[in-house]
Structure 1
Amino acid sequence: MIGILLALWVTHRRYAARGGDTDMVWDAAIVAIPAGIIGGRLYHVITDSDKYFCDTCNPAAALNITAGGLGIWGAVALGAVGVALLFRWKKVPLAPFADAVAPAVILGQAIGRLGNWFNQEIYGRPTDVPWALDIYYRVDANGEFAPLTGTSTGEVITSVHPTFLYELLWNLLIFGLLILIDRRFRIAPGGLFALYVAGYTLGRFWIELMRDDSATMILGQRVNTWVSAVVFLVSIAVFVWLQRRQRAVVRETE
């Protein structure tokens, strides 16, 4: 929630600076937030279907978002579709808003990664680097293993790469680069959002290679590794196409 509020504040300032109607920011939030939650849950359930649809599983658990499980890919995708349809219905250009929201979204994602620290989740392989994260054995009132809700016994199970911290820092780096690029270079409308997608997926690709928790595998690689690679290539292609189209328009008007 802190990430969402911070993202809204940044978007409001950036969209106003572009001359946009700031009421559209709140309208977009009303659409994007629920759409993002639904999309994130759908992506998680699809890519981790074995947790919900098996002989001993309870399919109704797929609807229980409070138990965890939201995929950022589905959240951004369905949220973006919802906002695009809103702007189309309102007959307002989408590209200026997309460029205004791009740095805000990745800033919100950075803040959201703090939740993985509280939940002791999405960490990497065991390591002995100085900044390794210690994972403690936790038990409930009955002495049963309870990694999320239990109390620590003081026993360290393992020390791992804090990959969620790596992603948090990477997202902050991309946030800064997007702000810098937006100020110093002439980017085609919509291009900054494409760069946000490319920047995020590039970082997610190498971070996914450091993780060894359970995940759906395709040809020996985690599904999110493949998604990162494909979306990165598509976003770069879109950025190049937008830049070329803008140069062609400029030449025609000269």
Structure 2
Amino acid sequence: MPLLALPFPVIDPVLIEIGPLAIRWYALAYIAGFLFGWWLAKRLLATDRLWAGGKAPMPPAAIDDAIVWAALCGILGGRLAFVLIYNLDYYIAHPAAIIAVWEGGMAFHGGIVGAVVGLFIFARRNSLPVLPLIDLAAIVAPIGIALGRLANFIKPELWGRVTDVPWGIIFPGAGPDPRHPSQLYQAGTEGLLLFVVLLIIARSGGLKRPGFLAGCFGIGYGLARSFGELFRQPDPQLGFLFAGATMGQLLSVPLIAVGLWLVLRSRRAAP
């Protein structure tokens, strides 16, 4: 073992196992993220002063069904994007593995698209404004991202590149060299830091301009993800793309562009 390296803190990826039933940290991260998002979104809707005109655009009870649409479509979009973009050859050879979501393998950019589509359908079916719903989702999503990255670390998967920093970790299955704990970097930047920034913006009047928070999320997540990719080992089946870029960085470009468009569009709305 290199002198400047930390051993991986081995944690059983299965939290509780009762007979054939196994509750994994990976699944628990998703559940906790959705529950927290449901709670916080209802709290924000119950605070009328945060919204334009001093009145929330929908009752807090609307979140009860909206979160189901966002969760199901988000998971479907994330899994579909991972299968099609990150590992298509493998899943063509092993089609039964496509539904094994509990084993990992979600593309967050695809999850964003899926969740937005789900919220759009829900809003249309219930005659609710779309952008405020997406703004709420943007605020609460980073906590789910942070928990998901922690689950990546526990598994372990999606580890970082080889490094000589003193906090480098030797991950099981990643060879003898210490690597960046990039999952923790991403949990801190894409998750906790982005959540704090978006919550401050929301409580400072950001929700009074529909689409502004969603745009800030697109910009913030795209930049944070691109930064995290500098330390993360690219997926072996893809490797580096042109000019040393990774797929995560490439997919973040349109996300940042859409975020900028939403911010500029929202600035035209009356505060």
Normalised to the residue count of structure 1, the TM-score between the two structures is 0.82
Q: State which of 123, 130, 134 in structure 2 corresponds to 1:87.
A: 123
Look up the match of 1:33.
71
Matched, 1:107 2:131: no
Q: State which of 8, 11, 32 in structure 2 corresponds to 1:2.
A: 32
Look up the match of 2:194.
174
Report how far residue 77 of structure 1 moved. 0.9
Please show how residues 5-154 of structure 1 align to structure 2 within 5 Å.
5-18=35-48, 19=56, 20-47=58-85, 48-53=87-92, 57-136=93-172
SS at 2:177's partner residue? Answer: strand
Find the aligned partners of 1:131 and 1:103 in 2 and give their Cα distance.
31
Q: Indicate if the aligned counterparts of 1:215 and 1:222 stay in contact, CA closer than 8 A.
A: no
Report the AA paired with residue 188 of structure 1.
Answer: R
Please show how residues 188-203 of structure 1 align to structure 2 within 5 Å.
188-203=209-224
Pick the structure with greater CA Rg. Answer: 1
Inter-CA distance 131–223: structure 2 relative to 1 (3 Å threshold): same
Report how far residue 185 of structure 1 moved. 4.5
Identity of aligned residues (%): 30
1:12-62 Cα offsets, whole Å, 9 max, x none, are: 111222433122111012211111111111000011212223xxx223322
Matched, 1:211 2:226: no
Which sits farther off after the overlay, 58-67 or 43-52?
Answer: 58-67
Q: State which of 183, 205, 219 in structure 2 corresponds to 1:164.
A: 183
Look up the match of 1:143.
none
Report how far residue 111 of structure 1 moved. 1.5
1:175-234 Cα offsets, whole Å, 9 max, x none, are: 111111222345521111110121111100111132223153543532221111221122
SS at 1:200's partner residue? Answer: helix
Find the aligned partners of 1:121 and 1:76 in 2 and give their Cα distance.
21
Alignment length (residue pairs): 227
Q: Indicate if the aligned counterparts of 1:209 and 1:225 stay in contact, CA closer than 8 A.
A: no
Look up the match of 2:53.
none
Find the aligned partners of 1:127 and 1:26 in 2 and give their Cα distance.
45
Look up the match of 2:263.
239
Runs ≥4 residues deviating over 4 A: none
Q: Which runs of 5+ in 1 are unaligned?
A: 138-146, 148-155
Q: Which has the higher contact order (CA 8 A, sep 6+)?
A: 2
Find the aligned partners of 1:202 and 1:70 in 2 and give their Cα distance.
19
Find the aligned partners of 2:163 and 2:241 in 1 and give their Cα distance.
25
Normalised to the residue count of structure 2, the TM-score between the two structures is 0.77
SS at 2:210's partner residue? Answer: coil
Look up the match of 1:140.
none
SS at 2:162's partner residue? Answer: coil
Look up the match of 1:150.
none
Find the aligned partners of 1:65 and 1:235 in 2 and give their Cα distance.
28
Report the AA paired with residue 192 of structure 2.
Answer: L
Report the AA paired with residue 165 of structure 2.
Answer: V
Report how far residue 133 of structure 1 moved. 2.1
Find the aligned partners of 2:241 and 2:43 in 1 and give their Cα distance.
42
Find the aligned partners of 2:265 and 2:45 in 1 and give their Cα distance.
24
Over aligned residue pairs, what C-alpha RMSD do you find? 2.0
Report the AA paired with residue 142 of structure 2.
Answer: I
SS at 1:113's partner residue? Answer: helix
